[in-house]
């Protein structure tokens, strides 16, 4: 059994897509990229269970409703390029979420979350279709060994892609996320988060994200499909 705590929300009342995807991926026990497809907004503070079948794991509610499923995946594009220290600061300064944010309590990118409560990754544009922001990995998210777990790391790889597609112009929800973490982030360290919009097809936005050390070492990367929604 596993529970997505209320702290890890995305839109009000449901789990952060990246965090929830990381929780589902953790049940697969696979080395390499993992593809997660979310089928319903992940419920908060609700007991959930894994169901395993060959190379797939599903996360379901007590009543059997499917939250999402994971399987071995692969990347279709190159990871977004490294962004320099000056670029991540410029990206944070130009963060559109400071002006308008559809989900300002989001665990990853919400402006109303404090240090140690949310990740506070504020990704703004630095180039055509490219966003960047610093992430100062807070010790409150670290385990006993001082490193950040995979669900929180997946969350850090989530919203920079959504802001590359610009949440402030069209609210979106995460549909599919493929990610791989190469090295667990360490508490107390700064990381460079980068997002890139690859293309749009109707209501779908295809994005890529990457997390780097200040020395340009790739810590983790992801590809996402976002689906535009109507909040009206």
Mean pLDDT in residue range 155-182: 94
In this prediction, residues 94-111 reach a mean pLDDT of 96
Contact present, 179 and 186 (Cβ < 8 Å) = no
pLDDT of residue 54: 84
Q: What is the pLDDT of residue 184?
A: 96
Q: What percent of the chain has pLDDT over 70?
A: 99
pLDDT at 232: 60
73 to each of 55, 69, 123, 205, 229, how far by Cα in Å? 11, 12, 26, 19, 26
Q: Indicate the pTM of the whole model.
A: 0.96
Confidence class for position 30, pLDDT limits 50, 70, 90:
confident
Provide the pLDDT for residue 132.
Answer: 98
Report which of 190, 178, 232, 141 is spatially closest to residue 17, judged by C-alpha positions.
178
pLDDT tens-place string over residues 72-87 = 999 999 999 999 999 9
pLDDT for the residue numbered 190: 98
* pLDDT tier, 171 (very low <50, low <70, confident <90, very high otherwise): confident
pLDDT band (50, 70, 90) for residue 195 = very high
DSSP character for 78? P
Among the listed residues 87, 94, 228, the one whose alpha carbon sits nearest the alpha carbon of residue 167:
228
pLDDT digits (tens, 9 = 90+) for 33-64: 999 999 999 999 999 999 998 899 999 999 89
**Cα separations (Å) of 47 from 7, 37, 42, 76, 211?**
15, 19, 11, 34, 31
Q: What is the mean pLDDT of residues 131-160?
A: 96
- For 95-105, letters b (16+ CB in 10 Å) and e give bbbeeebbbee
pLDDT (mean) for 151-174: 93
Specify whether the CB–CB gap between 167 and 10 falls below 8 A: no
CA distance 101 to 88: 19
Does 22 score more than 80 pLDDT? yes
């Amino acid at each position: 059994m596993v529970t997505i705590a209320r702290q890890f929300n995305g839109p009000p009342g449901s789990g952060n897509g990246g965090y929830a995807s990381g929780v589902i991926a953790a049940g697969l026990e696979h080395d390499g990229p993992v593809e997660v497809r979310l089928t319903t907004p992940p419920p908060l503070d609700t007991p959930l269970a894994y169901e395993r079948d060959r190379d797939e794991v599903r996360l379901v509610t007590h009543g059997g409703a499917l939250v999402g499923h994971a399987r071995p995946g692969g990347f279709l594009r190159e990871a977004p390029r490294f962004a320099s220290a000056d670029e991540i600061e410029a990206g944070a300064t130009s963060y559109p979420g400071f002006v308008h944010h559809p989900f300002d309590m989001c665990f990853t990118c919400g402006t109303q979350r404090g240090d140690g409560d949310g990740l506070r990754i504020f990704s703004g544009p630095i180039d055509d279709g490219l966003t960047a922001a610093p992430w100062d990995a807070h010790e409150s998210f670290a385990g006993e060994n001082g490193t950040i777990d995979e669900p929180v790391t997946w969350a850090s790889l989530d919203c920079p892609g959504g802001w590359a597609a610009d949440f402030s112009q069209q609210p979106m929800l995460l549909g599919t996320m493929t990610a791989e973490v190469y090295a667990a982030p360490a508490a107390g360290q700064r990381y460079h988060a980068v997002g890139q919009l690859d293309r749009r097809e109707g209501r779908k936005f295809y994005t890529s994200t990457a997390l780097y050390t200040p020395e340009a070492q790739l810590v983790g990367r992801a590809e996402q499909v976002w689906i535009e929604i109507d909040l009206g």
